[in-house]
Structure 1
Amino acid sequence: MNKKTITGQFHFALGKLQEQVATLLGSTELQYAAQKRQTDGRIMHAVGEAQDLIKRSLRQRQRAPM
């Protein structure tokens, strides 16, 4: 896990909470903002996982005998 993965998870969870509050308040504008935050969190999380995968792959490639 890297910083982007953790930040992405945080933004997703915060978006979920924000969406619940917006539903209670009946604000569609806040609901859209919450959904956008969730989407941004998912994207950030995926980018972080991709970075981790690339780093692991490069480390394995350096260790492999030729």
Structure 2
Amino acid sequence: MNRKTITGHFQVALGKVQERFASMTGNAELQRQALQRQSEGKIMHAVGEAQELIQRSLRSGVRQ
């Protein structure tokens, strides 16, 4: 796991907590921000995984 993967996963989890808090308080703006944070976290996580995959592919290609 690289830094982007971990940060993305953390942002998704934080967004879920924020969303629950927003739904409990009835704050629509905070709920929108929570959903946006989750989306950004998922994108960051996917980018991190793609980077890892590319790095592994390049390393295995060099060895052959």
Output the aligned Cα RMSD: 0.3
**1:5 positional shift:** 0.1
Indicate the residue corresponding to 1:56 in structure 2.
Answer: 56
**1:14 positional shift:** 0.1
Distance 1:13 1:22 in 2: 14
Distance 1:40 1:16 in 2: 12
**1:53 positional shift:** 0.1
**1:39 positional shift:** 0.2
Moved over 2 A (4+): none
Distance 2:10 2:40 in 1: 10
What TM-score, normalized to structure 2? 0.99
**1:15 positional shift:** 0.1
Q: How many aligned positions are there? A: 64
Work out the percentage of aligned pairs sharing the same amino acid: 61
Indicate the residue corresponding to 1:42 in structure 2.
Answer: 42
Q: Structure 2 counterpart of 1:53, which letter?
A: L
* Structure (1 or 2) with the larger CA radius of gyration: 1
What TM-score, normalized to structure 1? 0.96
